[in-house]
Homo-oligomer: A and B are copies of this chain.
Amino acid sequence: MKAAAKATSNIAFIKYWGKKDEALRIPANSSISMNLSNAYSITSVELSKNLKKDQVYLNSKKAEEDEYTRIVKHLDLIRALAKSNLFAKVKSRNSFPKGTGIASSASGFAALTLAATKAFKLNLSQKKLSILARLGSGSACRSIPPGFVEWVKGADSKTSYAKTLYPPSYWDILDIVAIVGESKKEISSTKGHSLTGTSPFFNKRIADLPQKIKDIKKALKFKDFTKLGTIIEEEALNMHAVMLTQRPPLIYFNSSSLSIIREIYEMRKKGIEAYFTLDAGPNVHIICKAPDAPKIKKILKNQKIVKKILVNKPGNGTEII
């Protein structure tokens, strides 16, 4: 009747931006990501006959209405699978701030999916968990399997899920997140996703992605860090170029993000091989080789605009705790 799960968030090397099916969150393209060992959600789900409705606490506070509604909808899916009508008390907390480009919905819905299915005594395969997590939040499906992950776009709900390409131990690279802001997004990424078609560049982006995915999988296979990093940066700017040209335009990076990007260019000039990526938020993710981390952290600590530094190894998948 009670279960708790821990799920890491993930950073996309090839991004998920735009959906083929809005309601089922089937993406317009496959994507590639790495789980983030230190950016996680821990979520507990407790069922009780005494509850008359679901109760949801996020970071020790009652969930706001829109969050509550989305989580109850996800619990409804799981109740239907379990043929149960029990309500749940859900408590979830994140190791990182919300709404800043670290996908709290990814780790949150991955952890919720595993904890809730366990509480309802469902025993689902990793594939089925990934599909179910996707229905809660697209990128959550990538947080179910461990390590370096591919979310295969699929043709329908049953074939759109994520699987491990390589385990966390495969490659000793890091994602150092320079946290520069905690402000809420003016336009949520869910809303932004639904407007990708308004960018004149979206179709071209989608047409080019299969080749880019082939290339990055090759870079992963041969541990070609320069190739990997180059593709990661181009891909981030490609997605943000689409965002900039949507109606309304989405400018998710801010002044601090740009300063960090310029700092990364300087690092490379000094021989520190680091690359950036940005999600739908201002924080800059710095992808680097593990031995370079101390130098990079030192440089970031000298930047006043950096409020916090989060160092992530390739993370595990979602696990019961």
Contact = CB atoms under 8 A, between A and B. Distances in A.
A210 interface: no
Interface residues on A, range: 20 to 34
Contact of A255 (B208, B238, B258): B258
Contacts of A205: 200
Interface residues of A, dominant DSSP: helix
Interface in A189-210: 200-201, 204-205, 208
Given A237-B244, A258-B255, A259-B255, A204 B208 contact: no
A254 B258 contact: yes
Contacts of A153: none
Interface string A259-295: 1011000000000000000000000000000000000
Interface string A240-251: 111011010101
A272 B268 CA distance: 43
B249 A245 contact: no
A234, A242, A261: most-surrounded residue (chain B CB, <10 A): A234
Nearest to A205: B200
